[in-house]
Amino acid sequence: MKGALQQIPETVKARTFLEIGLPTETIVDFCQEKDCDLIIMGSRGLGAIKQLFVGSVSNYVLHHAGCPVLVIR
Q: What is the mean pLDDT of each run of 10 residues along the chain (73 residues)?
A: 88 89 96 95 71 72 95 83
Per-residue pLDDT at 60:
92
Q: Give the DSSP per-residue string, 7-72.
A: TS-TTS--------S-HHHHHHHHHHHTT-S-EEEE-----HHHHHHH--HHHHHHHH-SS-EEEE
Per-residue pLDDT at 37:
94
Per-residue pLDDT at 35:
96
Q: In the chain, what are the domains?
A: 22-72 (3.40.50.620)
